[in-house]
Amino acid sequence: MIAVKKLWPAIREGLRKGVHGTLWMLKILVPCSLLTFLIDVSGLLDYLDFMLAPAMGILSLPPEAALPLTVGLLAGIYGAVAALAVLDFSMTETILIVVFLLISHNIIQESLVQHRSGLNFLKAAIVRLVASVVTVFGLAHVLPPGEGTHSVIAAAPQGVASFGVQLQGWLWDTGGLCLKIFVILTAMMVIMEVMRAARVIPVLARLLRPILWLMGLSQRVGILWLTAAVFGLTYGAAVIVEEARAETFEKGEIERLQLSIGINHALIEDGAIFMALGIPALWLWGPRLVAALVAVHLYRLWAYWQVRRQGGTLGESVPKPVGRAG
């Protein structure tokens, strides 16, 4: 009972943030969903096939995928969820789109955050985009192809039902999706606030040392990595920037950290949001983790080669590509 009383303020704060976050999300999700619905039923995307097909073909995606990808890149996760919920994609296509956006969503704003805390803006954005393309390209050759039957909001076939009937179906299904997201998001917020109140994050950072080593990161950036992994680049921006300024980190440490968290951040919230679309957990967390690991170790190899080419000695900022980081 005592423990519950101590944690109640954290639970209450998590509930408050869940409600506030859902209301904020609805301001983006509902308009984007309605706009996508109108574009879909109007048949406008059919006229743009010739423009979108070549670019989307590289990612083994149909032309219609350009809409959620563009929305996600510029507006973030919630707008992309709204677009995905309306359009008709197979599960494989949905997974490919989601993996791309989990790595490269909201790329302008988040690259600015990374720029403030130690990584060049263009480098941050380009690395994430390249990681998205390469990861999706690889997954497209592993996942089985499927027919387009996996829209969360299944609009009636055009010409069979009136626009009013389709709009009514959109309203009903959108309401159900928003409720599902509210439940998941609120639960995640409560968990994160309880973790913060119970001072679990520093303990987890120590326990995660083997994972940090595997990912090519210094143990000294463990708290920063965990902050981004749990709270994301935007929400955790203040912590990341202030800690990066306060601590004496080597340039290599910060750049490896930024490459990793740029690709692999907000693991709980972003994954939970896409779970509402029925995406299996493996594809929400696995590809990003692998992509981040590969990106960091490629950076380590490049830094090692640069030092060897210049005839210098390896320091903390440019560690050997094999062995313990940091």
Tell me phi and psi for residue 158, to 5 degrees.
-65, 140
220's CB contacts (< 8 A; 6+ apart) are 247, 249, 253, 326
Query: Chain centroid to CA 146: how far?
Result: 24
- Rounded to the nearest 10 degrees, how much is the dihedral formed by the CA atoms of 87, 91, 96, 97? 20
How confident is residue 156, by pLDDT bands cut at 50, 70 and 90? very low
CA angle 170, 175, 176 (to 5 degrees): 100
Whole-angstrom distance, CA of residue 218 vs CA of residue 210: 10
Neighbours of 219 (CB within 10 A): 17
Tell me phi and psi for residue 161, to 5 degrees.
-115, 150
Helix (H, G, I), strand (E, B) or coil at 161: strand
With 0-12 CB in 10 A as exposed, 13-18 as middle and 19+ as buried, what is 45? Answer: middle
- Rounded to the nearest 10 degrees, how much is the dihedral formed by the CA atoms of 289, 291, 294, 298? -140
What are the counts of helices (DSSP H) followed by strands (DSSP E) for the chain?
A: 16, 0
With 0-12 CB in 10 A as exposed, 13-18 as middle and 19+ as buried, what is 191? Answer: middle
Across the chain, mean pLDDT equals 79
146's CB contacts (< 8 A; 6+ apart) are 90, 91, 92, 93
How confident is residue 229, by pLDDT bands cut at 50, 70 and 90? confident
Neighbours of 8 (CB within 10 A): 12
Q: What is the DSSP letter of 154?
A: -
Structure confidence at residue 129 (pLDDT): 95
Q: What ranges do the domains of the chain cover?
A: 1-88+151-198, 123-142+200-326
Percentage of the chain exceeding pLDDT 70: 79
277-309: pLDDT as tens digits: 888 989 999 999 999 999 999 999 998 898 888
Q: What angle, 0 to 180 degrees and rounded to 10, lies between the N-to-C axes of helices 77-86 and 163-197?
A: 140
Indicate the length of the chain as a whole number.
326
Helix (H, G, I), strand (E, B) or coil at 158: strand
Buried b (16+ CB within 10 A) or exposed e, 14-28: beebbeebbeebbeb
Structure confidence at residue 230 (pLDDT): 76
How confident is residue 2, by pLDDT bands cut at 50, 70 and 90? very low
How confident is residue 263, by pLDDT bands cut at 50, 70 and 90? very high
Whole-angstrom distance, CA of residue 300 vs CA of residue 279: 33
Find the range with the poorest average confidence among 35-44, 86-95, 220-229.
35-44
**307 in Cβ contact with 314 (< 8 Å):** yes
Whole-angstrom distance, CA of residue 317 vs CA of residue 251: 6
- Structure-token match 């994430």, residue found: 128
**What sign for the dihedral angle of Cα 122, 237, 229, 249?**
positive
307-325: pLDDT as tens digits: 888 875 544 444 443 333 3
Helix (H, G, I), strand (E, B) or coil at 220: helix
What is the average pLDDT across 129-147? Answer: 89
